[in-house]
């Protein structure tokens, strides 16, 4: 889908970082030197971080290997080198799919025409000729139960209610900040409940139209969902709940639909992972601080901007103040995992590095304010932070995380043990490799949305800067703890 930048540039002319009650703009949470060694005067300022984030948002969606993503990676590379880090690039090539036009036109049994609004496309689904594909519109059921017996040669419409994320089942809670915050039993972000269209392709359908049923159109708009799927070889488009109800009724009355999804497949498209190293007093032990760089907006993934601030900060410290070597993998492929391995590629290709790593901190999705649909499906801000989970199976790391959160603006954060799954993000593979890991990851509804302004109006520069300060304090703490203590039970 193509987007105009006019609205974004108009917004940008008047943009300021979103304020959080209780903190004056530009004020550091940790003035001077803390007991953990953190020196706030060495940290890049809130304005510097925010300006980089706004610049990143102007690039547009940074889908794996596209022009915007390559510019962002080059930006991070040059700034890391300028700060004195040793940066290596690990290059991959893959077949990159990119959509640029989509539409749904329906003709009723009475020959009345209806242009169905499309909220987004199904990434790596498929493509059509410029004129689209045309067939009878048929209703094929509600996820997860589909009727595929009558879709051959036709356009299938399906209902897709979202599935809750069952925090109460997945996690044991080590603790929350602040202590009186109530960690939810479940979360209901806008995530695609259907991840595979190949059964429809195998059944002979021409295309699939997927209808959100229980979120607003504003929430559904531009969702790049689901991500990291292999090519489905059948075009798929998403529509909002009211449009879906209309299409379901038109299908029952014998309508015909034309689905258009024009997309390009670019073979051997290049994309790079960055490996930035800051030596410590010892090279025998390593702390990994990682994120990925690809994503649809200024939220997913702004971890690169956060890591850049952390790298600049620690590079200003004397080498003698860094006990361990810091390695910052900024990986590509999170949004193209069937083709590019992201952090898994680091783990598999550098066993010696993994063997030396005593702890890891994964940084993703910073500065997120909470936006929700109300009962009337009006999508709006709540005025609060989005809930964050700091995922770790190691109690000593959970304790450190909770201690470093004290006094910060990063309220509504839970340190959790993933006893039954739910280890989202780039920290999971590191933890499974045996490294004591904290995977920090807020998961707002707009996480996968790719609007023209990059969702930057939903982010807070003050919150993001506060989170970066928390991470700096945490790295100081991890650097000073014996390796045996980091492992814990």
Tell me: the pLDDT tens digits for 9-43? 444 444 444 555 444 444 444 444 555 789 999 99
- Kindly write down the DSSP assignment for every residue of 361-386, as one continuous string: EEE-STTBEEEEE-TT--EEEEEEEP
| Residues 398 and 361 sit within 8 Å (Cβ to Cβ) | no
| Residues 231 and 126 sit within 8 Å (Cβ to Cβ) | yes
Q: What are phi and psi of 240, to 5 degrees?
A: -75, 175
How many angstroms separate the CA atoms of 388 and 370, rounded? Answer: 10
DSSP H helices, 332-460, are 343-349, 351-356, 395-405, 427-432
> At 298, is the pLDDT very low, low, confident or very high (cuts 50, 70, 90)?
very high
pLDDT of 4 strictly over 70: no
How many angstroms separate the CA atoms of 358 and 22, rounded? Answer: 36
Could you give the percent of the chain with pLDDT greater than 70?
93
Which tokens belong to 262? 């024009």
Please report the domains of the chain, with CATH numbers, ordered by start residue: 6-95+267-487 (3.40.630.10), 97-172+182-264 (3.50.30.30)
How many angstroms separate the CA atoms of 299 and 224, rounded? Answer: 13
**What does DSSP say about strands 357-363 and 282-292: parallel, antiparallel, or unpaired?**
parallel
| Residues 460 and 64 sit within 8 Å (Cβ to Cβ) | no
Task: For residue range 410-461, list pLDDT tens digits in order.
Answer: 999 999 999 998 899 999 999 999 999 999 999 999 999 999 999 999 999 9
pLDDT at 36: 74
Helix (H) or strand (E) holding 303: helix 303-316
DSSP H helices, 15-102, are 46-58, 67-82
How many angstroms separate the CA atoms of 324 and 357, rounded? Answer: 9
| Residues 222 and 1 sit within 8 Å (Cβ to Cβ) | yes
pLDDT at 41: 97
Other beta carbons within 10 angstroms of residue 473's beta carbon come to 26
| Residues 243 and 116 sit within 8 Å (Cβ to Cβ) | yes
> At 302, is the pLDDT very low, low, confident or very high (cuts 50, 70, 90)?
very high
Which tokens belong to 480? 């000073």
Mean pLDDT of the 287-302 span: 96
Average pLDDT, the chain: 93
Other beta carbons within 10 angstroms of residue 379's beta carbon come to 18
Task: For residue range 62-117, list pLDDT tens digits in order.
Answer: 999 999 999 999 999 999 999 999 999 999 999 999 999 999 999 999 999 999 99
How many angstroms separate the CA atoms of 74 and 275, rounded? Answer: 13
| Residues 167 and 185 sit within 8 Å (Cβ to Cβ) | yes
Task: For residue range 168-222, list pLDDT tens digits in order.
Answer: 999 999 999 999 999 999 999 999 999 999 999 999 999 999 999 999 999 999 9
Task: For residue range 469-489, list pLDDT tens digits in order.
Answer: 999 999 999 999 999 999 886
């Amino acid at each position: 889908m193509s987007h105009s930048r006019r609205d974004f540039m108009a917004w940008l002319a008047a943009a300021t970082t979103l304020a959080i009650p209780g903190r004056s703009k530009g004020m550091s949470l940790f003035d001077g030197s803390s007991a953990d060694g953190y020196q706030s005067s060495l940290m890049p300022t809130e304005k510097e971080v925010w300006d980089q984030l706004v610049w990143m948002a102007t690039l547009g969606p940074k889908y794996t290997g596209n022009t915007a993503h390559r510019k962002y990676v080059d930006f991070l590379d040059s700034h890391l080198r300028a700060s004195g880090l040793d940066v290596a690039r690990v290059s991959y090539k893959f077949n990159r799919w990119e959509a640029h036009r989509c539409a749904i036109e329906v003709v009723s049994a009475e020959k009345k025409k209806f242009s169905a609004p499309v909220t987004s496309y199904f990434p790596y689904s498929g493509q059509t000729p410029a004129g689209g594909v045309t067939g009878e519109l048929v209703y094929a059921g509600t996820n997860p139960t589909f009727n595929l017996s009558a879709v051959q040669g036709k356009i299938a419409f399906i209902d897709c209610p979202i599935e809750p994320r069952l925090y109460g089942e997945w996690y044991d809670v080590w603790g929350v900040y602040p202590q009186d915050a109530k960690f939810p039993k479940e979360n209901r972000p806008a995530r695609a409940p259907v991840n595979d269209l190949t059964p429809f392709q195998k059944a002979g359908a021409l295309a699939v139209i997927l209808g959100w049923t229980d979120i607003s159109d504003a929430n559904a708009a531009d969702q790049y969902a689901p991500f990291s799927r292999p090519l489905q070889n059948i075009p798929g488009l998403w529509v909002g709940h009211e449009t879906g109800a209309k299409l379901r009724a038109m299908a029952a009355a014998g309508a015909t639909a034309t689905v258009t999804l024009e997309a390009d497949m670019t073979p051997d498209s290049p994309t790079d992972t960055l490996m930035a190293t800051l030596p410590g007093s010892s090279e025998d032990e390593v702390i990994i601080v990682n994120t990925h760089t690809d994503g649809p907006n200024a939220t997913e993934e702004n971890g690169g901007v956060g890591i850049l601030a952390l790298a600049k900060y620690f590079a200003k410290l004397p080498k003698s103040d860094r006990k361990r070597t810091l390695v910052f993998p900024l990986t590509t492929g999170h949004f193209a995992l069937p083709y590019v391995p992201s952090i898994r590629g680091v783990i598999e290709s550098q066993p010696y590095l993994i063997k030396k790593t005593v702890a890891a901190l994964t940084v993703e999705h910073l500065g997120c304010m909470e936006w929700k649909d109300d009962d009337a499906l009006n999508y709006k801000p709540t005025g609060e932070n989005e809930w964050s989970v700091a995922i770790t199976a190691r109690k000593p790391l959970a304790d450190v995380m909770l201690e470093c959160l004290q006094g910060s603006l990063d309220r509504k954060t839970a340190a959790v043990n993933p006893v039954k799954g739910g280890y989202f993000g780039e920290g999971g593979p590191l933890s499974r490799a045996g490294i004591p890991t904290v995977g920090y990851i807020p998961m707002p509804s707009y996480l996968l949305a790719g609007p023209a302004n990059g969702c930057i109006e939903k982010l807070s520069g003050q919150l993001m800067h506060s989170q970066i300060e928390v991470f700096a304090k945490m790295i100081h703490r991890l650097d000073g703890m014996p390796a045996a203590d980091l492992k814990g039970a």
